[in-house]
């Protein structure tokens, strides 16, 4: 209509449209510029290819194969693949009070869209956690069912270092599937074995061995050398202990009365830095006083002046523990 008014009263709107279609769309210009089939440039966001509205992002997994009692223990609803208490239980409060009104301005509309987006993110996080729990068999592990499966399928023994590494890398479990993670550690184990084998072959080469047949003879000789070395170390350590025990009493062994002491008395004199003769004197006085008191005879002997309170207490305790005097007398 606007084109007809611009051209003038000589053309009606219908004639203008027919002229444009015949000359430009179906004419030579249209044939050169417009393709026969026009591609559909509209993206279907509901397709199951991972789009923002794809149902595959929140599609429930197959129900868990657990008994009714175990379902009640977990609060699990198998037909919905849901739990009575979900991750972020109050997520629905973001949209529970939303409503679309005809008089909403642009700011209110964007705010409501933001609430819906936040809710969708929480739903995706719920499903992601369920997928991780299903992939790593966390529910059977919680119920204790995985122990039976482990007994059926024996695996290689996991070293302490690998257990520590698994604990350190546990936050990465959410980015890898269970199979990928097991393959990762299995490959690391193979790498350690290969590195050890390479070091062993390099050691053979350094020792002039170039054939595997020669390695068995070399290993036998090396084992004998290590055994002799180990026996030598054990003998030297025993000898060192004996020498150390003899040297323990070096300060008092040449003093008079040393041969009269027992092993425990030698240790006591050495720790108190007390000569054997003085110890024998104090011991004789204390035992004599003890016997006189038991017979009702008053004691008149005096302890030597070099015996202070600490030495006296240590010697009395020792004689009491050894049974020389009774506890009441000490």
Query: DSSP states of 20-80 as a string?
Result: HIIIIISSHHHHHHS-SS-------TTSTTT-TT-GGGSPPPPPP---HHHHHHHTEETTT
Q: Is residue 79 helix, strand or coil?
A: coil
Mean pLDDT of 102-129: 88
For the chain, the straight-line distance linking the first and the last C-alpha, in angstroms and rounded, comes to 130
**Residue 257 binned pLDDT confidence (cut-offs 50, 70, 90):** confident
**Residue 301 binned pLDDT confidence (cut-offs 50, 70, 90):** low
Residues whose CB is less than 8 angstroms from the CB of residue 317 and which lie 6 or more positions away in sequence, other chains included: 330
**Residue 195 binned pLDDT confidence (cut-offs 50, 70, 90):** very high
Q: What pLDDT sits at residue 137?
A: 77
* CA atoms of 181 and 187, how far apart (whole Å): 10
Task: Please say if the pLDDT value at position 147 is more than 80.
Answer: no
Task: Please say if the pLDDT value at position 53 is more than 70.
Answer: no
Mean pLDDT of 97-101: 85
Q: What pLDDT sits at residue 174?
A: 77
Element (H, E) at 82: strand 82-83
Domain layout of the chain by residue ranges: 3-48+66-148, 258-322
Q: What pLDDT sits at residue 18?
A: 93
Q: What pLDDT sits at residue 66?
A: 79
Q: Is residue 157 helix, strand or coil?
A: coil
**Residue 17 binned pLDDT confidence (cut-offs 50, 70, 90):** very high
Bigger pLDDT: 279 or 154? 279
Tokens matching residue 252? 């008092």
List Cα–Cα distances, 296 to 289, 307, 318, 326, 330, in angstroms. 10, 26, 24, 15, 16
CA 278 to mean position of chain CA atoms: 62
Of the candidates 179, 156, 160, the residue with the CA atom closest to the CA atom of residue 168? 160
Q: What percent of the chain has pLDDT over 90?
A: 8
* CA atoms of 303 and 311, how far apart (whole Å): 11
Task: Please say if the pLDDT value at position 50 is more than 60.
Answer: no
Q: Please say whether the beta carbons of 61 and 139 come within 8 A.
A: no
* CA atoms of 170 and 302, how far apart (whole Å): 76
Task: Please say if the pLDDT value at position 115 is more than 60.
Answer: yes
Q: Is the dihedral of CA 243, 245, 251, 257 positive or negative?
A: negative
């Amino acid at each position: 209509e606007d084109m007809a008014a611009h051209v003038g009263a000589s053309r009606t709107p219908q004639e203008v449209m027919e002229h444009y279609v015949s000359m430009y769309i179906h004419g030579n210009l249209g044939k050169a510029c417009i393709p026969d089939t026009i591609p559909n440039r509209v993206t279907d966001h509901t397709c199951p290819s991972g789009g923002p509205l794809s149902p595959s992002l929140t599609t429930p997994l197959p129900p868990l194969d657990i008994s009714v009692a175990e379902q009640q223990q977990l609060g699990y609803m198998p037909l919905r693949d849901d739990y009575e208490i979900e991750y972020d239980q109050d997520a629905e409060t973001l949209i529970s009070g939303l409503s679309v009104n005809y008089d909403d301005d642009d700011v209110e509309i964007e705010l409501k869209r933001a609430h819906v987006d936040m809710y969708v993110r929480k739903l995706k996080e719920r499903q992601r956690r369920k997928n991780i729990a299903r992939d790593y068999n966390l529910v059977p592990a919680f119920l204790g069912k995985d122990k039976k499966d482990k007994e059926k399928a024996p695996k290689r023994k996991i070293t302490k270092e690998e257990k520590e590494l698994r604990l350190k890398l546990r936050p990465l479990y959410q980015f890898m599937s269970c199979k990928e993670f097991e393959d990762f550690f299995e490959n690391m184990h193979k790498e350690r074995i290969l590195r050890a084998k390479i070091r062993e072959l390099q050691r053979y080469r350094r020792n002039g061995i170039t054939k595997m047949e020669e390695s068995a003879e070399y290993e036998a000789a090396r084992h004998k050398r290590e055994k002799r070395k180990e026996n030598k170390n054990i003998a030297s350590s025993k000898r060192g202990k004996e020498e150390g025990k003899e040297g323990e009493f070096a300060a008092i062994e040449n003093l008079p009365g040393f041969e009269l002491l027992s092993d425990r008395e030698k240790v006591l004199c050495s720790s108190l830095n007390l000569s054997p003769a003085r110890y024998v004197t104090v011991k004789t006085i204390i035992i004599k006083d003890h016997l006189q008191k038991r017979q009702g005879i008053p004691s008149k002997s005096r302890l030597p002046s070099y015996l202070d309170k600490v030495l006296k207490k240590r010697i009395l305790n020792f004689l009491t523990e050894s049974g020389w005097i009774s506890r009441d007398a000490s």
